[in-house]
Amino acid sequence: MTSALDGALVADFSRVLAGPYATMLLADLGATVVKVERPGAGDDTRAWGPPFAPDGQSTYFHSVNRNKRSIALDLSDPADLGIAQDLARHADVVVQNYKPGGLARFGLDYAAVSAANPDVVYCSISGFGSGEGRDLPGYDLLVQAMGGLMSITGDAEPTKAGVAVVDVLTGLHATVAILAALRHRDVTGAGQHVEVSLLSALLSSLVNQSSAFVGAGVVPQRMGNAHPSIAPYDLFATADRPMIIAVGNDGQFRRLVEVLGRAELADHADYRTNTDRVSHRDALKGTLEATLTTRGADDWQRDLTAAGVPCGPINSIEQAFRLATRLGLEPVSDIDGIPVVANPVVYTATPADYRTPPPTVDSDRDEVLALLRERP
């Protein structure tokens, strides 16, 4: 079966997470991705452990590097630099996350690459853009802090997300940009330079919280597990363990209080509409928990789910994978005996393809050099 990006060559000069995540998604769709690494150690994340996979590489590295070919190139060595430039000259897509301007001295910046390869789609990923923020280091935790995410996450003190979510979101935005630029090239024949920064990707991804500031001048604050604009939409105590209840409209609220045996609350002046409930969220939470704590979370989840009220437990990651498996979502795939987290998208015609496990450093040098010799 043909993959969506069969025949596309991606020169991947990125490392760590945002860029490698984007290029892995392209590789899942059939692109040939050549990962350029420094000789010896390779990508920094190869050593980011424990935990380590059975092949000795970190599971962090495994998370974003399947379906790729690795070649180790020392860009300060003329022979290796020539290979890197040749790769960029033949590539349909170049992805890099060096400090802005960092590849210019190697003749691998957009100006140099596009001069030799005018229809290239060249994607630059940075922390704070290529302008005034060009010299700021682009680490996920730093951007979570400086980009406002930590100011609205947690309870008593600013808290980072449990995963490098800004890197992941930036990788997704980069993938969308690359695919859009490839489509533009299909129509016009012209390549282009696309840039995405971690800060811009985060501000866009803050969606309603960013819009609250831009559109209404409201500066969002930390609210723990509560939602700034919806109630009840929070973590609630039960007789044995906490659970999430996520009521999104008045009908769901009415069904919630009916299951709790408190149907009169649906018409209470303080709770009749979502705006009313948001204004009286603390009192409402206390009222609901007075009933919720009389039974266990599993019992409530069964009855509330049957009534169409969104709710659920706080799962561990292990429990989340078990849930996805039970629901038939197939969250894990296998490549040559190495388990990998599956691509989340289901395609009817061009499904994600799992061809090769994450490579070892420079494991594909001969294959890459042969590939370049074959390219026109």
Contacts for 171 with CB less than 8 Å, ≥ 6 apart:
17, 18, 19, 20, 21, 22, 25, 64, 125
End-to-end CA distance of the chain: 25
What is the C-alpha separation between 90 and 82, in angstroms, rounded? 12
Annotated catalytic residue 167: yes
Catalytic residue among 28, 43, 109, 167: 167
Active site residues: 167
